[in-house]
Structure 1
Amino acid sequence: MKIYNHIDEFVKTNNAVVTIGTFDGVHYGHQKIISRLQEIARQKKGETVVLTFFPHPRMILHPEDKAIKLITTISEKAERLEKLGIDHLIITPFTRDFSNLSPHEYISYVLVDKIGTKQIVIGYDHRFGKDREGGLGHLQKYSADFGFEVEEIPEQDINDVAVSSTKIRNAIQDGDVKTANAFLGYHFHLTGKVIKGDQIGRSLGFPTANLFVEETYKLIPSDGIYAVNVQLSPAMDEERSFNGMAYIGHRPTINGMTHNIEVNIFDFDEDIYGSIIRINFLEYVRGDEKFDSIDELKAQLAKDEITVRSILV
C-alpha cells in the first residue's frame, strides 16, 4: 500500500475506485465498504483509493471539545487498511479551509482533478463539504458531468445493532472490550513504549511493564483489570506474543497520583524497557478498587491472575 500525507502528493490514476471517510477504528461496517471497493476494483481492473483525514474533523471544527478520543491512531488506521489490501491511502490534512469547500468544489477539485475518480463507494449517510451539505444526491447529480459512478453501501448491522465508531468508543469507555472487539472485527489495542515505573508491581510479586502511549488523542479503556494478549515488536514481521493481565488506573491503594497503564506479562522475564509493545484487550475482569492493605491487594491480584488465566485458556 502506498501512503500519501497530502492529496497533492497523489498522482492521479486512470481508474481510481475511491472511498472517503474518517474510518476511525476501521470497524466491521468500514470493512464492508472496503470489501465492496475491492470487488468493484477487480471488476473494473482499477486501483483502490482510500481518502481519509488527519486530524479528525471534530478536532478542528470543535477544538473546545477536549474529550474527543479516537479508537485508532493514524498509524494504526494505516496498518489496518494495509492488512485489508488497499492500494493507495491518502491522508490529507483536515483544515478550516478544507472544511469550507462546497460540495461541488469538493467533487471537482478533490475527487476528479486530484484523484481521477472513476467510481466512488460511500457508506450510509456519508456527508462532505461545507457544513456537511454534500451527500449521495450531490454525487449522483454531478456523476455524469464528471464521468464517475457512485454507489452507497446500506447501513451495516451486527446482531441487529448498527455498527458505528461512536458505539465502539462508548463500549471501550465502559470497559466492554468484548463488544468493541465484536464490532471492530479485531482486538482493540494500545501501542506504546515501555517506560520505567516505580516497580511497585515487582514488590507485590506482579512485575509490570508500564506503557506510554504517545498519542494523546488515543482512546483509553476505563480503569480496571483486563485479560490481554501482549505483542512484542508489533511493527516487525515476526512477532512474539504472551498472555497477561493489564491494569489501568491511579493505584488508589498506594495513593497513586498518576494514571497508569501497566501489564503483567505471564511467564515472562526479559528486560523490555524502551521497547514498543502492543496490548490487545480481550476481556474486562473488574474495576479499579482501593484495598485496606497491601496484603489485601496482593491477595486480590493473585485471584485476578487465576481468573485471567482461565479466560485465556
Structure 2
Amino acid sequence: MILIRDTTSDLARRLTAHGSVATIGNFDGVHLGHQALLKRVIDRAEAFAGAARIAIVFEPQPKEFFEGPRAPGRIMDLREKFQAMQGFDLDCLYCLPFNRSLQQRSANDFVSDVLVKGLGLKYLVIGDDFRYGSDRAGSFSHLASYGQKALYPDGSGFGVEASETITHAGQRVSSTRIRSLFANGQLDAAAALLGRSYRKLGRVSFGRQLGRTIGAPTANIVLQKRPALTGVFCTRVRLPDSATWHAAVANIGSRPTVDKARADGAQHYYLEVHLLDWTGDLYGKMIEVEFCKKLRSEAAFDSIEQLKQQIALDIASAKAYWKQAANCYE
C-alpha cells in the first residue's frame, strides 16, 4: 500500500489507470466499522479488473478544520491510520487535504474533480452517515444519482453502496463511542470496538530531559494532534526491529505542571514513556506504545517536587501491575 496526496502525480495516474474502487471517511481509529468498509472495498474490487483499491481520508479531519481546539481528540494520526490499514489488501491511502478550497467546493464538483477525474471511480463504498460538499449538501442519494451518468468514454458511471451499521453489544461502533470509553478509562471495552489493543506509534524526540533530573527518564513523542486518550497508564513498549515488549508507565497529554499556559494560547501534547528497569538510547527511533491500564487522570501540581513524588507513586503502581501480569503476554 502506498500513500498519495495528489491525484495528478504520475504515480497516482498509473495507479488509477484502470479506475478505482474506493471508500472515504475519517477512519479515526480504523475500528470494526471502518474495517468492514475496507473489506467491502476489497470484495467489490474483484468485479473491476485492474481497479485500484483505495481508502480516502481527510487531513486535518473536517471537525478539526471547523472547530479547531474544540474538535474531538484524535484516536489516530495519519501515520497510525496508514499502519493500521496495512493489514488489508489495499493499493493506496489517499490523503485529501481539507482546506478552505475543499470546504467551499460544491457536492457536484467534489464528485467530478476528486472521485471521477482524480480517481476514475468505478465503485464507492461509504458509511451510512457520510456527507460531503459545501454545507454538507452531498449525500448517498446524490452520489447514486451522479453515478448513473455517462462519466467515462465507454458510457459507464460508477456504483455506490452504503455499508451496513456495525454494532457491538447492541450499540453502534463509532469513533465517538471509543472516545467516550477512553474518557472513562475503559480500555478493554475500547479495544473490543477497535478489534485490537490501543496503541500509539511515534518517533522519540529530544525533550527538556526533566525526567532524568527527577529519576524517571522518559522517551518523549511529540503528538501532532490533541489525543483522544489522556492520563497516566501502565503501558508496554515495543522497540525498533524487535518483537519484544517492555513494561512501562506513560503520561499522555499536555504536561500541565511543566508546560504552563502559553502567552500565545498554543497547546502542545506529548506521550512520555518511562520503561521500567531498562536503560538505553531511543532518541530518533520509532517505538510503539500499547495502553493496558489507566492509573489516574493527568493533573497539574504546584511544584516539581510534588510531581516527582507522584511519578514515584505511578512507577510503583506500574511495577505492581506488571508483576501481577508478568505472564499475561507469554
Q: Distance in 1 between matches of 2:115 and 2:227?
A: 31
- Contact residue 246 and residue 275 of structure 2 kept, 8 A: yes
The TM-score with structure 2 as length reference comes to: 0.79
**Where do 1:5-154 residues align within 5 Å?**
5-9=5-9, 10-11=12-13, 12-45=16-49, 46-63=51-68, 65-145=69-149, 146=151, 147-154=157-164
Q: Distance in 2 between matches of 1:250 and 1:152?
A: 39
Amino acid at match of 1:7: T
Does the residue aligned with 1:305 lie in a helix, a strand or coil? helix
Cα deviation for residue 72 of structure 1 reads 1.1
- Contact residue 192 and residue 214 of structure 1 kept, 8 A: no
Cα deviation for residue 69 of structure 1 reads 2.5
Cα deviation for residue 249 of structure 1 reads 6.9
Q: Distance in 2 between matches of 1:20 and 1:299?
A: 45
Q: Aligned residues, how many?
A: 301
The C-alpha deviation readout for 1:232-264, integer Å capped at 9, x for no partner, is 12xx5x554322222447889xxx434874333
Q: Select the residue among 190, 193, 198 that pairs with 2:204.
A: 193
Cα deviation for residue 208 of structure 1 reads 3.7
Q: Distance in 2 between matches of 1:77 and 1:113?
A: 25
The C-alpha deviation readout for 1:133-181, integer Å capped at 9, x for no partner, is 1111011112221311111101111111211112222322333322222
Answer with 98-107 or 194-203: which moved more.
194-203
Q: Select the residue among 286, 292, 299 that pairs with 1:276.
A: 286
Determine the structure 2 residue equivalent to 1:211. Answer: 220
Q: Distance in 1 between matches of 2:47 and 2:96?
A: 28
Q: Distance in 2 between matches of 1:250 and 1:110?
A: 37
Determine the structure 2 residue equivalent to 1:307. Answer: 321
Does the residue aligned with 1:271 lie in a helix, a strand or coil? coil
Q: Distance in 1 between matches of 2:104 and 2:227?
A: 28
Unaligned runs of 5+ in 1: none
**Where do 1:138-287 residues align within 5 Å?**
138-145=142-149, 146=151, 147-190=157-200, 191-196=202-207, 197-199=209-211, 203=215, 207-215=216-224, 217-219=225-227, 221-224=229-232, 226-233=233-240, 238-248=242-252, 256-258=257-259, 261-287=271-297
Cα deviation for residue 276 of structure 1 reads 3.0
Cα deviation for residue 298 of structure 1 reads 4.2
Q: Distance in 2 between matches of 1:140 and 1:170?
A: 34
Answer with 135-144 or 9-18: which moved more.
9-18
Q: Distance in 2 between matches of 1:189 and 1:74?
A: 14
Q: Distance in 1 between matches of 2:276 and 2:177?
A: 32
Unaligned runs of 5+ in 2: 152-156, 260-268
Answer with 142-151 or 257-266: which moved more.
257-266
Amino acid at match of 2:28: D
Q: CA RMSD in A?
A: 2.9
Cα deviation for residue 123 of structure 1 reads 1.0
The TM-score with structure 1 as length reference comes to: 0.83
